[in-house]
Amino acid sequence: MNTPETPTPSSTARPASTRSPVRRIATAVILGALVVVSLWICAFSFITSLLIGSGVIVVIVAADTVSEVASMILDALAAVILFVLAAIAALFAAIFDIFG
Give pLDDT, residue 16.
Answer: 54
What pTM was computed for the model? 0.67
Distance CA 26, CA 43 (A): 25
Task: Supply the Cα-derived Rg of the chain in whole angstroms.
Answer: 19
Instruction: Encode pLDDT of 25-51 as tens digits.
Output: 888 889 999 999 999 999 889 999 999
Helix (H) or strand (E) holding 84: helix 68-99
- Among 3, 24, 16, 21, residue whose Cα is nearest residue 76: 24
Q: How many residues belong to the chain?
A: 100
Given this model, what pLDDT does residue 5 score? Answer: 65
Q: How confident is the model at residue 61 (pLDDT cuts 50, 70, 90)?
A: confident
Please give the pLDDT value at position 88.
94
The continuous run of DSSP H or E covering 58 comes out as helix 46-66
- pLDDT tens-digit series, residues 69-100: 888 888 898 899 889 999 999 999 999 988 87
